[in-house]
Amino acid sequence: VQLVESGGGLVQAGGSLRLSCVLSRVGLRDYVIAWFRQAPGKEREGVSCITDPDESTWYKDSVKGRFTISSDSAKNTVYLQMNSLKPEDTAVYYCALGGRWAFTTAQAMGVLESDGMDYWGKGTLVTVSS
């Protein structure tokens, strides 16, 4: 399994970016694709995830209403549309693939755990200027 992120960049506060995660050689079923982020000096945190094949979604509270995760199965791509960006959204954003239990746990506990992920991309940097 390979995951490749793109779409990061520099944007002013209030602006938008769309991140893409292209998946290859998956050969799996009933998994979750997640977006994590890690800001300088902070721990990695789960931002959002979407399940395959039913496309159920989960969002971290601080991005609800601003970020939207979606999947295009024909393109093997998962997107993270980020609107109304804030300086505190500045981070390296990572795409990851894991078992469906990570989604179930996130729903129950309110936190998407990184140790539930089996595969990771290399990340894309998002910088939001004030």
Q: Determine the 3-state secondary structure of 87 from DSSP.
A: helix
* Nearest C-alpha neighbor of 96 from the set 79, 70, 121: 121
pLDDT by position in tens, the chain (length 130): 899 999 999 999 999 999 999 999 777 778 999 999 999 999 999 999 999 889 999 999 999 999 999 999 889 999 999 999 999 999 999 999 999 999 999 999 999 999 989 999 999 999 999 9
* Nearest C-alpha neighbor of 47 from the set 38, 37, 56, 33: 37
